[in-house]
Amino acid sequence: MIIKTITNIPLEEMFRSGLFAVMATLVVTLILYFLSGLAVRKDPVSRRAQLRLQVGIGNVVYITIPLLGALFGPEVMFVAIMHSVTQDILIWTLYYPMSLGLASGQSEKTGLRLLKSPCILALILALILRFAGLELPGPVSYTVARLSDMVAPAALVYMGFLLYRYGIFKWARDPIAIKYALVKTVAIPIAVTAILLPLTDVLTAVVLGMLFGSSAPTVSIVWAEGHKGDLPLAINCFLSSTLLHILLTLVAGFLLLKTGVLA
């Protein structure tokens, strides 16, 4: 998806919308990082890091980008991808050390994991191809496109597995998960959109707002299980926010298009 989008976007658009998306993502994510730290300071240690991760980072690649593409078309993909790549960098440089409690002397391990990230590797390859004026061979381009199309179905299969294993409505009895889902999918996207509207065009502000309203990332479940976090809460937050995010994004997108706000 990253390679396909970046190699086809005009350079002027890349610098104009890409720079704003990166800066907005960086600033807003850092604000959420510090605010979430204050919000969870009285929570048990086992859940602080995972809640901060789930507040600041979204399940963008697997859930939100396919939704935005279906609603608004390919013109929003570059902003979404730059948001995703920026957050991927912050995951490994900010949230990963926090989750593991890494000391500064272990920072080289974090950097190595960052360089191994599929999003970062895809971005580097895409930029090399774009600025060198090269194109992927036909069979490779076709394979990349088909793999991109498989992202959303794979995410839905994983969510279906979790629903089957842990119960479709178990999260509804978890007040923390419900409160989290409302903050993540309602309060944050509205606030981000309102802040960005005076700074950019309506479509970019709305798209970035929806991206920040993306559901809890899959990695939060993996880290909760692997680093002695609160796994049941991580799963409940993931399921509640994912279901609500899909519903609200589709409804909001349909209304914005139907009323002509984003026509």
Q: Which residues of 139-154 are buried (b: 16+ CB within 10 A; e: fewer)?
A: eeeeebeeebeeebee
Q: How far apart are CA 149 and CA 159, in angstroms?
A: 17
Query: Per residue in 189-199, pLDDT tens?
Result: 999 999 999 99
Q: How far apart are CA 122 and CA 79, in angstroms?
A: 16
- Domain membership of residue 25 (yes or no) is yes
First to last CA, the chain: 25
Q: Which residues span the domain enclosing 98?
A: 2-258
Q: How far apart are CA 244 and CA 183, in angstroms?
A: 11
DSSP string covering 126-180? HHHHHHHT----HHHHHHHHHHHHTHHHHHHHHHHHHHHHH-SSGGGG-HHHHHH
Inter-axis angle of helices 11-39 and 202-212, to 10 degrees? 40
Q: How far apart are CA 116 and CA 171, in angstroms?
A: 33
Q: How far apart are CA 233 and CA 46, in angstroms?
A: 10
Query: How many domains are contained in the chain?
Result: 1
- Domain membership of residue 196 (yes or no) is yes
Question: Looking at residue 43, what DSSP letter applies?
Answer: S
Residue with the bigger pLDDT between 252 and 111: it is 252
- Domain membership of residue 58 (yes or no) is yes
Query: Per residue in 202-251, pLDDT tens?
Result: 999 999 999 999 999 988 888 888 778 888 899 899 999 999 999 999 99
- Is the distance from CB of 147 to CB of 208 less than 8 angstroms? no
pTM: 0.79
Identify the pLDDT of residue 19. 84
Write phi, then psi, for 7 (nearest 5 degrees).
Answer: -75, -10
Q: What is the mean pLDDT of residues 11-34?
A: 83
Tokens of 65: 């980008």
- Domain membership of residue 138 (yes or no) is yes
- Domain membership of residue 145 (yes or no) is yes
Instruction: List Cα–Cα distances, 230 to 36, 128, 185, in angstroms.
Output: 17, 41, 21
Name the residue with tokens 């602080």.
48
- Domain membership of residue 165 (yes or no) is yes
Question: Looking at residue 260, what DSSP letter applies?
Answer: T
Residue 68: give its domain's CATH number: 1.20.1530.20
- Is the distance from CB of 27 to CB of 106 less than 8 angstroms? no
Q: Is the pLDDT of residue 162 over 70?
A: no
Identify the pLDDT of residue 109. 56
Average pLDDT along the chain:
80
Chain-centre distance of CA 50, in angstroms?
Answer: 15
Identify the pLDDT of residue 48. 87
Nearest to 184 by CA among 36, 60, 55, 37: 55
Q: How far apart are CA 243 and CA 195, in angstroms?
A: 25
- Domain membership of residue 263 (yes or no) is no
